[in-house]
Structure 1
């Protein structure tokens, strides 16, 4: 008796393009439609259109411009993080200033790619984010290296990072800040994600080397 075997294909990426310029969206679509693992779930030029698509389609990844017809991509990223935390956001922008990068990452973006970067960087950013990492455009790497990565953290996360640098446990930090242990653990996970750190030992090492108590 022959056994039926089923081959399970890798899940496809349901991508939403958000940019207020149709020509930009057309260019992105043309680049990305050639990749078998990517399905363009929709396009939007405003925050309202983007949220409507996310509510009706199984979007898993967003390419987001900072400048939109109504509102801006940074505040919209924060809203997506709050309402659709399973959707990863890649910021695609013409702005290379550190303040825009930091604000985008604080809002919940997982990558920041410059619009004039080579097309391959968009693919690298998508691959990195889907794998659970963070990505910065090559034009930003030197700049990012010269700035304290902890600027991407919220004030609360910076406070917890300082406590980690002093060797305090989650229980101690929770008691000191009036938080639950679970909340402190969640902050730790967010800190590691933003700083692209995997293990607890690496987090402690980063805190010791980069935080001034």
Structure 2
């Protein structure tokens, strides 16, 4: 079976990583590396000019990070598939990347063969998560997280519910007749007690526990 030709743009702020990726992927006859970039802003400019099929992009980069760049790609060039490359296997972190528009998420400790499989998978229109990322993403919340819920005060629980249904800090404050600064304090306390640092994570947590 003939493999589809894939035009690839590589984005990472570490030259050694770029050199390593280029050296390995250049060995694949069906993959053509059309360009490289060192940050999200450069990636968007390069993609407009080069029209790659897939962009492999690091998450932590200067100027414009991977999450922000993925959001821009989704809005401006939705046909280009984004495969994120990261060292982080935190569940909430991965969820925020998915919501940004990425088609796949690969941890940097994967083998070169798995990376190639990931490229081919997202190019074909599917999503791909490396085994470590999948484990972090689909593992059920721990009992510790359930116990943490019991530590929330009545007011914090109310704030969590409102944030989970999409209320802004200002809207929560207006609804509960408290200041925005007080809402921010409650919000930080909730994040600390639950060990969840993103709104996407808090929303998922609230849904899983049928709080909303």
So what's the TM-score if we normalise by structure 2?
0.63
1:123-202 alignment, distance < 5 Å: 123-147=116-140
Alignment pair present for 1:107 and 2:75: no
Q: Could you report, residue by residue, the CA deviation over 1:51-106 in whole angstroms, capped at 9, with x for unpaired residues?
A: 22111112110001001121210110010011000100000001111122111100
Unaligned segments of structure 2, at least 5 residues: 142-163, 166-207
2:24 — aligned with what? 31
Number of aligned residue pairs: give it: 146
* Matches of 2:123 and 2:209, distance apart in 1: 29
* Displaced runs of 4 or more, over 4 A: 210-213
Aligned counterparts of 1:64 and 1:147: Cα–Cα separation in 2 = 28
Q: Secondary structure at the match of 1:80?
A: helix
* Deviation of the 1:140 alpha carbon: 2.2
Aligned match for 1:83, one of 49, 53, 76: 76
Counterpart of 2:53 in structure 1 is 60
Q: Contact 2:41–2:64 at 8 Å: present in 1 too?
A: no
Structure 1 unaligned regions, length at least 5: 1-8, 149-157, 160-209
Is 1:74 equivalent to 2:74 in the alignment? no
Deviations 1:91-148 (A, max 9, x none): 0001111122111100011111001112222111112112221111111222222248
* TM-score scaled by length of structure 1: 0.63
Helix, strand or coil for the counterpart of 1:24?
helix
Over alpha carbons, which structure has the higher Rg? 2
- CA displacement at 1:25 relative to structure 2: 0.4
RMSD: 2.2
How far, CA to CA, are the matches of 1:38 and 1:85 in structure 2? 21
Q: CA deviation at 1:49?
A: 1.5
1:46 to 30, 35, 39: 39
| In 2, Cα distance between equivalents of 1:107 and 1:55 | 19
- Structure 1 residues 28, 84: CA separation in 2 closer, same or farther (over 3 Å shift)? same
Alpha-carbon deviation of 1:23? 0.7
